[in-house]
Amino acid sequence: MPKPSSARPTVSVLIAAYNAAPFLERAVNSAMVQGDTVIEIIIVDDCSIDATLEVARALSQKDWRVIVVHLSKNGGPSAARNAGLEAARGDWIAILDADDAYAPGRVERLVRIAASQEADIVTDNFSYYDPASDTSKPAAIGFTKDITLIDIETFLAHARPFGVNTDWGLLKPIFKRKFLTDRSLRYPSSSRHGEDFLFVTNALLEGAKYVASDFLGYMYTHRGSGWSRTKVNYDGQVDQSRTLLRDRRLSHNFKLVSLLKERIRAMKRLSAEYKTQTLIAERRLLPLATAGVTDWRIAVSILRKAKNKVTTVRAG
């Protein structure tokens, strides 16, 4: 009888990059120091119009593990990640956004947890990083155990804004490549915002075992830093969740349908908050007033911001 393989699991770090020249090196450097578990760092340049491709190629000259894939047409983060998945050779796929970074030892820790828990997906906690001050805020999600099992119901209950915790859709797990390959799982090519939520939801519906550690291993750069290249589309995420409601794998499950409807309501509120904030920041008062008349959620958002401003003035 053959002996079981003693080979250590290998990891492919996947970075989708679009106009990321100013901060790409930080992300790649954080992956380079993760140890020899990381056998490759795949940078997929999504047809950037800045120096991202040049920066990526320069990094590949410094470390043989850095592999550069260039897309001739911009397809968004889903298309870029799918291209990276096609090129990956590691046992595990670790996602890293180009404007974020890993804490030291993060990848090896997650791989060890994956082995001990026999998991298909493993994640950890994250902090919000502020590039202006070079500081990080404390843990964003309050996992109550060393290891938390995340089933589809638990995920849907937490993967939405305005919940008890930060939206769990922001988590950046590592994925067992064999699980993704066996089930032909890929990121939704039509999505440019909210693709992480859809990808994890689909994996869970396909039976993935997902566990989370309370270790603070991922440094998420807050959107307010100006580094993110994501085109915000919360209305699109509402449509995505509505489409999921018709998925036969969950459409007959009352609890899952109810949780998805809660996510839809929360996303509609977030969309209204974002539109209100954008119109105020741009001083477009007439369109703001019109939007407040035609959309009750925006009207509520306007009233909420006005109340908060009055409260702040009184407190001052």
User: Same domain, yes or no, for 58 and 186?
Assistant: yes
Rounded CA-CA distance 261/245 in Å is 8
User: Same domain, yes or no, for 249 and 171?
Assistant: no
- Tokens read off for 225: 């830093």
Rounded CA-CA distance 104/33 in Å is 7
User: Same domain, yes or no, for 219 and 301?
Assistant: no
Give the per-residue pLDDT at 15. 98
User: Same domain, yes or no, for 171 and 272?
Assistant: no
Listed in sequence order, the residues at least 6 apart from 276 whose beta carbon sits closer than 8 Å to its beta carbon are 288, 291, 298, 301, 302, 305
Here the CATH number for the domain that contains residue 26 is: 3.90.550.10
Rounded CA-CA distance 127/36 in Å is 25
Asked whether residue 219 is domain-assigned, the answer is: yes
Asked whether residue 3 is domain-assigned, the answer is: no
Give the per-residue pLDDT at 40. 98
Give the per-residue pLDDT at 293. 81
pTM of the model: 0.89
User: Same domain, yes or no, for 127 and 187?
Assistant: yes
Out of 225, 255, 273, a domain closes at 225
User: Same domain, yes or no, for 212 and 300?
Assistant: no
User: Same domain, yes or no, for 85 and 219?
Assistant: yes
User: Same domain, yes or no, for 130 and 270?
Assistant: no
Phi-psi group of 252: left, alpha or beta (phi > 0 → left; psi -120 to 50 → alpha; rest → beta): alpha
The one-digit pLDDT tens for each residue of the chain (316 residues) are: 333 444 789 999 999 999 999 999 999 999 999 999 999 999 999 999 999 999 999 999 999 999 999 999 999 999 999 999 999 999 999 999 999 999 999 999 999 999 999 999 999 999 988 888 888 887 778 888 889 999 999 999 999 988 888 899 999 999 999 999 999 999 998 887 889 999 999 999 999 999 999 999 999 987 665 555 567 788 888 999 999 999 999 999 999 999 999 999 999 999 888 888 888 887 888 877 787 788 888 877 788 877 665 444 344 4
Give the per-residue pLDDT at 275. 85
User: Same domain, yes or no, for 178 and 124?
Assistant: yes
CA dihedral (197, 198, 199, 200) positive or negative: positive
Query: Are 121 and 224 a contacting pair, CB within 8 Å?
Result: no
Asked whether residue 190 is domain-assigned, the answer is: yes
Closest to 141 in 3D by CA, of 82, 212, 71, 203:
212
Query: Are 100 and 130 a contacting pair, CB within 8 Å?
Result: no
- Amino acid identity for residue 295 in this structure: D
Give the per-residue pLDDT at 250. 94
Rounded CA-CA distance 28/121 in Å is 22
- Tokens read off for 232: 């915000």
Output DSSP code: residue 174: E
- Tokens read off for 128: 């919000």
Asked whether residue 4 is domain-assigned, the answer is: no
Rounded CA-CA distance 18/80 in Å is 9
Give the per-residue pLDDT at 313. 37
Structural domains of the chain, count? 2
Output DSSP code: residue 194: S
Give me the residue label for tokens 């791989």. 111
- Please state the three-class secondary structure of 12-78 as a single string: EEEEEECCCCCCHHHHHHHHHCCCCCEEEEEEEECCCCCCHHHHHHHHHHHCCCEEEEECCCCCHHH
Domain that holds residue 249: 239-315
Give the per-residue pLDDT at 129. 87
Query: Are 12 and 93 a contacting pair, CB within 8 Å?
Result: yes
Output DSSP code: residue 105: T
